[in-house]
Amino acid sequence: MTHKPPHKHVHHHGDEENPELPKRSFSQRVLVGMGAVLLILLMTSFVFVTFPVGDILAGKSESDLIIDQVVRAGNLEIVFSDSAYRVLQEFYREDPTKEIALCLLGVKRNSTYTITKIYKPEQERSFRHVQFEPCSQETLILLHTHPRSRCIASNTDIATLRETQKANPEVLMVVMCEESRVSVYS
């Protein structure tokens, strides 16, 4: 005859209900779940409002890359000579904490702008603003930088472009937001 040891009861935390905690009804669980989802949505919207994630995503989708010194934006093409591209990169790297405005000169044939010379007009610069003297009448492109990954032109930028186009309808505006990323406005 074999002797079976008495059954040992092993207690696991949570095996028994705590009589002090009332059991939640289905509607209470639904409300708690909805509250959690609402909190997640509020936190996500805070991130999008506080940090310019929306601006960055919009800028990425609207902008074009400079590939082999060429920008293709819709039906427009901007081609930089070797020296002009080198100057552009030098100006861009000069002080990336502040916006900079540049005047781009060259030749326009059909929808291709070939840039051969770049100069910097007199200007006052800050992180989110640049105020500059008008570019010469021969300028083909008004270029200025924006903070990293924010390639969308402001209303002031567009107003400046429209005012300049009164004297030179062929002029473009380019917003540069990375070493090889720009948005082109005509």
| Phi, psi for residue 70 in degrees, rounded to 5 | -130, 135
Q: Which residue ranges form the domains of the chain, and what is each CATH number?
A: 63-185 (3.40.140.10)
Reading phi first (left if > 0) and then psi (alpha if -120 to 50, else beta), residue 5 is in beta
The whole-model pTM stands at 0.68
34-63 tens-digit pLDDT: 878 888 777 766 655 555 555 555 555 577
Task: Give the pLDDT confidence score for residue 152 in this predicted structure.
Answer: 84
127-162 tens-digit pLDDT: 666 788 899 999 999 998 877 667 888 899 899 999
Cα gap 56→58, rounded to integer Å: 5
Query: Cβ neighbours of residue 158 under 8 Å, at least 6 residues apart?
Result: 173, 185
